Amino acid sequence: MAAASDELKRAMPYTTRYPELGTGPIDVAPLIDPDLFELEKEKIFRKTWLLVGREEEIPEPGDYKVRQIDVASTSVIVVRDKTGKINAFHNLCTHRGNKIIQEEGAQTTGRTRSHLMTCRFHAWSFSTDGKLHGVPKEENFNKLDKNCLGLKTIHCEQWQGFIFINLDKTPEKNLVEYLEGMADQFAGYPYHESTVSYRYSTVLNCNWKVAMYAFSEGYHVPTIHAATLPSLAKIEQIDYQCFGPHSTSALYVPPVAGMQPTPATGNLGGRLVTSKQHGPHLDLLPEKINPERRTDFQFEFPVFFPNLVLHLGAGNGYPGMTYFHHQFWPLSVGQTLWEGTNYFRPPKTPSERVAIAHTNALHRNAWLEDTSTMEDTYAALCSGALDEMVLMDEEIMIRNTHRAWHEYMGV
Amino acid sequence: MMALLPEKFVSLNPFVESWALPNELQRSQQRWSASEEDYRRFYDAMMPMLDETLDYLDQYEIGNIPEEAIVLYHLSLAFAEAAPHVELYECANQVPNSFEAVRFEAAHGEQIDS
């Protein structure tokens, strides 16, 4: 690839740092083509590490979580065994294939009784380490080898309390290798302290990448969030880095002279900002995040291939030492289950709980703004009138995800 | 109506029936149907008393708020969630130019705040 001209480097200082990204338009077909969607199931969602939960969701031995993964036509049980180890299995009885744990939606949590999971069809029971424990009328089978009939295992690893699974029989990389530089860059943030979570979800009538790309850049912030986040009218999105299929950047908001918060925001947000527990803690950011320790730091938002966008705050943007993430689960080429989850440090007093409700409402309202374009975008793209889309420098993370998508897909 | 609010806060009694709801889902349903006037009156009554209200609530422990304070607590949560409509959305009951709020499902929506 020819070296970028000085003019191009000025226009796209970040993108031109990564020559493999190119600077031209990206193709639209991956966002709308049903055949490519079928291929994605095998080439991406059965090959990569997928986030399915947090360790805090299953704190005790015997606790489980079931995660539906429609794109791989499966439902996954993640369960903590007697030794505390977290295991993942297909939610399927090895007798005649019935689901072992009934789900209540895309994510279900619960606790096993006596470390056993029992199929309601014929009462086969399995222990939390996956072994087949009990079979009624076992003597009437033709020499049943219980050792070979344990639950079907799925690769499961944890990083920083995040539980990932990989549906590949033999994953090419372990989780930390797969995360590349991200594993180190984002280690050490006090994720485990933000144990209060608020999760919103909806089925969006759009391709999963349309939704994910909309959450992968800050270029839209001054327009889409003009109502809910007026203080973000002028943002600075910098610190871009790519790590293989993943990428990251940070958002800063230089203070605007004379801009005062509205009364309720000033009061409720102020309560969090001035508390030791919820107030700004730049010191708790991993050292490579906001390296200059700027006080106008809002959040860092890494994009993990294929379907996770994380946001790490430090308490000086949105009030509260919060982090949040978005996940995009394909249901079909034109349907996506979106899940947005806010994590807060637990409130210690009623007033802190009220203040957190306010911050959480602002997050949710901003997400209502984010999701407002996605169905229109997808519907319009399906016209086929646009073959390619042009991207500016601050849309570099979309460019990187798109590049990785082509690499995984081999097309 | 029963005396639902502590004596200092009886001026907020007119808002109890509509707004003092125990979980986020019910409070959201109220937000989506409230009129401009509803928002304005609730906000104007509660904002000047916010500090006093929260100080009062803070004598109790979260998760264990007694009956005499629980209605005020739910009213405060409703205020926190409704305030952006007044301060940012000109008292509209939906976020302007947004996705349909009713399509967002909150995993915690039916969890009672206690």
Same domain, A57 and A91: yes
A119/B76 Cα distance (integer angstroms): 45
- Whether A409 and A236 have beta carbons less than 8 Å apart is answered as no
Give A204's strand partners.
Answer: A336
A199 with A159, same domain: the answer is no
Q: Does the residue A181 lie in any domain?
A: no
Residues A266 and A141 in one domain: no
**A33 lies in a domain?**
no
Q: Please report whether residue A28 resides in a domain.
A: no
Whether A305 and A293 have beta carbons less than 8 Å apart is answered as no
- Which residue in chain A is spatially nearest to B100 when comparing CA positions? A368
Among A123, A145, A170, the domain-final residue is A170
User: What ranges make up the beta strands (E) of A103-152?
Assistant: 107-111, 116-118, 125-127, 132-134
A164 and A245 in a common domain: no
pLDDT tier, A325 (very low <50, low <70, confident <90, very high otherwise): very high
- Residue A59's SS3 state is coil
Structure tokens at A341: 């989850």
User: Which residue in A has a C-alpha nearest to residue B90's C-alpha?
Assistant: A227
Q: Is residue A102 part of a domain?
A: yes
Same domain, yes or no, for A258 and A150? no
Q: Where are the domains of chain B?
A: 18-102
Identify whether residues A367 and A249 lie together within a single domain.
yes
Distance from C-alpha of A37 to C-alpha of A41, rounded to nearest angstrom:
7
Quote ipTM for the complex: 0.98
Tell me, what amino acid is at A323? Y
Cα separation, A280 vs A294, in Å, equals 11
Q: What are phi and psi of A202, to 5 degrees?
A: -160, 160
A327 and A307 Cβ atoms separated by less than 8 Å: yes
Restricting to B residues 14-33, those with a Cβ less than 8 Å away from any Cβ of A are 24
Give residue-wise pLDDT tens across range A117-159.
Answer: 999 999 999 999 999 999 999 999 999 999 999 999 999 999 9
A147 in a structural domain = yes
* Domain match, A109 and A56 both: yes
Domain boundary among A120, A145, A170: A170
Are residues A144 and A114 part of one domain?
Answer: yes
Probe site for chain B from A262, A277, A335, A368 (most B CB atoms < 10 A): A368
Determine whether the interchain pair A368/B65 forms a contact, defined as Cβ–Cβ distance below 8 Å.
no
Q: Based on the domain organization, do A87 and A206 belong to the same domain? A: no
Write the CA distances from A101 to A68, A107, A125, A164, integer angstroms. 11, 12, 11, 20
CA A104 to chain CA mean position, Å: 21
- CATH code for the domain in which residue A134 is found: 2.102.10.10
| DSSP bridge pairs for A110 | A64
Q: Give the number of other CB atoms < 10 A from CB of residue B60.
A: 16
The pLDDT of residue B3 is: 52
Domain-located, residue A11:
no
Greatest distance between any 2 Cα atoms in chain A: 81
Question: Domain containing A148: what range?
Answer: 50-170
Contacts across the A-B interface (CB distance below 8 Å): 115
Best B73, B95, B108 residue to mutate vs chain A (most A CBs within 10 Å) = B95
Measure CB to CB from residue A354 to each of B80, B87, B88 and give the nearest one.
B80
Residues A243 and A202 in one domain: yes
Q: Which tens digits make up the pLDDT trace of A150-190?
A: 999 999 999 999 999 999 999 999 999 999 999 999 999 99
List Cβ neighbours of A104 (8 Å cut-off, separation of 6 or more): none
- Structural domains in chain A (count): 2
pLDDT score recorded for residue B1: 47
Per-residue model confidence (pLDDT) at position A1 = 54
pLDDT of residue A393: 96
Q: Is residue A297 part of a domain?
A: yes
